[in-house]
Amino acid sequence: MPLPALRRAALLPGIVVVLTGLSASLLSAPAAVAAPSAPPHVDGTETVPVYDYADAIRESVWVTTPLDNDGDGAKDQVVVDLVRPKETARAGVKIPVVMDASPYYQCCGRGNESELKEYAEDGTVTQFPLFYDNYFVPRGYAFAAVDFNGTSRSTGCGDVGGREEILGVKAVIDWLNGRGQATYADGTPARATWTTGKVGMIGKSWDGSVANGVAATGVEGLETIVPIAAISSWYDYYRDNGARYTTDFGPAWLSGYVNGRPPEVCQPVRDELLAGSANETGNYNAFWHERNFVPDARKVKASVFVVHGINDLNVETKHFAQWWDALARNGVPRKIWLGQPGHVDPFDFRRAEWVATLHRWFDYWLQDLRNGVMREPMATIERAPDVWVNERTWPARGAFPFPVSLGAGDGTTGTLGLVPGRGTTSITDDPSLRETRAVSNPNAEVAGRQVFLSAPLNRDLRISGTPEVTLRVRVSQPNTQLSARLVDYGRAPRIDSMGPGEGVRTLSTESCWGASTESDDACYRETAKNVVTSDYQVMTRGWLDAAHRDSLTRPTPLRPGRWYTVTWRLNAHDAVLPKGRVLGLVLTLSDTQFTIPSSTGATVEVDLRRSRLHLPVSLHPGATALPEVSAAPQVHAPPAPRTASTESRWHDFR
């Protein structure tokens, strides 16, 4: 707030003050103190576009990092391409930085239109992907596009979530705050005297993942991060409770895919990545611990604005949920958006509202403008296609793990209810069983699966958080995979997150978000939701390699014929199932569609009385979560027209 000028003290009539030994100058009234004026780009509580984007300063610097993982005897350097207003530089007005650090600027592109950085013949950057530069630079921000180590013009070698990657990007923030060194292309020193040092990192997928990792270092100057569909633990990106998602597209492959160095330079690093990831075991080890940011949430000093697709099968929802919970435990200021599409940027599923919200978020945290964004509801959730609601927090206020029993039902289809079940049921593994067949027609007998259904709901049911399955099992062989799916049965329009575009399609029309130049326009093709009417939707999934039931680091085989209690989490979810819908739990064993099982062919016997689904629900006082059911209801759910596969999961990992 501007400080008011000091007012003169008025002399009260009739009072005579005698001052001795003071000069006449000291008898004068104190001078008024002028209120500091706001910079031109601030209008009240928001930044406005007043600076010339076409005439902005565009430059590249090479920031020195603390590591030398390419072994050439010199500290590795990361390249930072910058664009900032010329007017603020001339006036000596210091500005904050919006940063997107990425491995994709040259190999693959960013955004729905796969834009790349482009350069003039003299090396000057002429095009930045995405709209951040076009929109924020005229509003008094700098934009920094950082190339990871080993990509584009940066030196070193990519280590995929490891120390090189995280400390390389952290070095840029240190340099922006006067704690590091950088040079221009000609070797002359580069100093960031033009910035306040306040940095906001943003990015989707891998870009957002490194934002999580850098925030977990506690680096000073990083004021906020906006991780979109971001990884919080690289182990959990490649595995789930010991169950492997892939053996072909691991960190070594990914490092090579984005590599910008001569292949022989970084092959030793890729060999180390392959050895460290222990693809043959599915174990969690020191390699994966280095790439797990969740334990260091206690170090985070930045605010966090999480954005995630609730149906994301690439970076699954467990990533935002475990990160969010850790941030909450440590009192980190935060906000969350949960949309219905899959691995999609909010710019492509709620564009106007996203740009406006992001603008206010950065204004608050980087420009110190008290615009009230932190007094608004913490969570914004898409309940149905383009139906959004605001919530005070996430998970839902008062949500708790409600124990749901598994019953035998009619002998073919089991039940979900309140009374513990009796007896046992058995599942014999069918590795050829695909998800569509596993979850459709739940009242039919299908080899390799067991379905449990609730009665039709007698009121709306809010599921908010992370479901968990506990089974008492007896296994016919030393190991098997266990797979679980939570299914919403009932005909309704839903976003087609399993189809092309993961719920969105690209239109022929464009909209513009910021200023443009001939080489860098701010216009992007619009998108729309792909909505289908379907009879069911798989809400969430989860897998367990049974040998990893007690430890991710030291798997132990099972003894055939002996009973074990195993518990595993499904991916986080948030949904309201309307009255009349049926909730289903589908159990299978090996899942060759989504995972790479280490063992197949087992038969598993399940003790129903000692097995539970722990459902995260939010209830009004006195309400029951599920009506009791003695026999499974008849549910007709024909096969869906599309299904995901292990191959499609890795087709577009960006």
Read off the CATH number of the domain in which 134 is found: 3.40.50.1820
Inter-CA distances, 169 with 99, 101, 503, 508, 592, Å:
10, 7, 32, 36, 37
Dihedral over alpha carbons 131, 134, 136, 138 (to 10 degrees) = -170
Q: Is residue 314 part of a domain?
A: no
Q: Are 126 and 120 in contact (CB under 8 A)?
A: yes
289 and 404 together in one domain: no
Domain end (from 279, 305, 331): 305
pLDDT of residue 626: 76
58 and 206 together in one domain: yes
pLDDT of residue 28: 41
Helix (H) or strand (E) holding 135: helix 132-136
Q: Is residue 520 part of a domain?
A: no
pLDDT of residue 621: 54
At a CB cut-off of 8 Å and minimum separation 6, what does 197 contact? 96, 176, 177, 178, 221
- 261: its two tokens: 């160095």
pLDDT of residue 604: 98
Q: Is residue 500 part of a domain?
A: no
Q: Are 200 and 223 in contact (CB under 8 A)?
A: yes
Q: Is residue 377 part of a domain?
A: no
Confidence at 627, pLDDT banded by 50, 70, 90:
confident
More confident residue, 542 or 649: 542
Distance between CA atoms of residues 67 and 155, nearest Å: 11
Distance between CA atoms of residues 558 and 550, nearest Å: 11
Confidence at 654, pLDDT banded by 50, 70, 90:
low
We report the CATH number of the domain holding residue 626 as: 2.60.120.260
**Number of domains composing the chain:** 2
pLDDT of residue 648: 43
Indicate the SS3 state at residue 563: strand
Q: Are 313 and 342 in contact (CB under 8 A)?
A: yes
Kindly report the backbone phi and psi dihedral angles of residue 409, in degrees, each rounded to the nearest multiple of 5, phi listed first.
65, -135
pLDDT of residue 623: 54
Find, among 95, 83, 104, 76, the residue nearest to 170 by Cα. 76
289 and 181 together in one domain: yes
495 pLDDT more than 70: yes
30 pLDDT more than 70: no
Characterise 73 by phi-psi region: left (phi > 0), alpha (psi -120 to 50), beta (else): left
pLDDT of residue 339: 98
| Residue 217: HSE in the Cβ half-sphere, 13 Å Cα cutoff | 23
Confidence at 104, pLDDT banded by 50, 70, 90:
very high
Q: What would the DSSP string read from start to end of 579-635?
A: TT-EEEEEEES--TTTSB-S----EEEEEEEEEEEEEEEE--TT--SS---SSPPP-
- 648: its two tokens: 């499609």
SS3 content of the chain, % helix, strand, coil (to 5): 20, 30, 50
Q: What is the mean pLDDT of the chain?
A: 91
443 and 582 together in one domain: yes
pLDDT tens track for 138-189: 999 999 999 999 999 999 999 999 999 999 999 999 999 999 999 999 999 9
406 and 298 together in one domain: no
434 and 285 together in one domain: no
Which DSSP state fits 118?
A: E
36 pLDDT more than 80: no
β-bridge partners, 424 = 607
At a CB cut-off of 8 Å and minimum separation 6, what does 366 contact? 96, 97, 98, 141, 198, 199, 200, 223, 224
Inter-CA distances, 426 with 303, 358, 429, 607, Å:
48, 51, 10, 9
Distance between CA atoms of residues 464 and 328, nearest Å: 16
Domain end (from 261, 286, 305): 305
Helix (H) or strand (E) holding 89: helix 86-91
300 and 415 together in one domain: no
Portion of the chain with pLDDT greater than 90, in percent: 88
| Residue 178: HSE in the Cβ half-sphere, 13 Å Cα cutoff | 6
pLDDT of residue 10: 31
More confident residue, 641 or 413: 413
- 355: its two tokens: 């740009």
pLDDT tens track for 47-78: 999 999 999 999 999 999 999 999 999 999 99
Q: Is residue 141 part of a domain?
A: yes
Q: How many CB atoms lie within 10 A of CB 29?
A: 10
Could you identify the residue written with the tokens 């892939």?
246
Find, among 548, 377, 587, 547, the residue nearest to 467 by Cα. 587
Confidence at 634, pLDDT banded by 50, 70, 90:
confident
pLDDT of residue 8: 29
Q: How many CB atoms lie within 10 A of CB 178?
A: 12
Q: Are 526 and 510 in contact (CB under 8 A)?
A: yes
More confident residue, 13 or 86: 86
Confidence at 503, pLDDT banded by 50, 70, 90:
very high
Q: Is residue 229 part of a domain?
A: yes
Q: Is residue 58 part of a domain?
A: yes
Write b or e for each residue in 630-649: b if 16 or more Cβ atoms lie within 10 A of its Cβ, otherwise e. Answer: eebbebebeebeebbebebb
Kindly report the backbone phi and psi dihedral angles of residue 525, in degrees, each rounded to the nearest multiple of 5, phi listed first.
-65, 135
What is the domain range of residue 448? 400-491+536-649
pLDDT of residue 392: 95
90 pLDDT more than 90: yes
Cα 122 to the center of its chain, rounded Å: 37
Q: Is residue 6 part of a domain?
A: no
pLDDT of residue 620: 56
pLDDT of residue 635: 83
| Residue 636: HSE in the Cβ half-sphere, 13 Å Cα cutoff | 0
Which DSSP state fits 108?
A: T
Find, among 303, 342, 336, the residue nearest to 321 by Cα. 336
Q: Are 128 and 152 in contact (CB under 8 A)?
A: no
301 and 415 together in one domain: no
Distance between CA atoms of residues 133 and 144, nearest Å: 8
pLDDT tens track for 114-135: 999 999 999 999 999 999 999 9
Peptide bond before residue 395 is cis, with ω within 30 degrees of 0: yes
93 and 215 together in one domain: yes
β-bridge partners, 533 = 493
Q: Any idea which residues carry the catalytic annotation?
A: 205, 312, 343
Q: Are 216 and 296 in contact (CB under 8 A)?
A: yes
pTM of the model: 0.92
Mean pLDDT computed over 381-408: 96
Domain end (from 305, 325, 348): 305
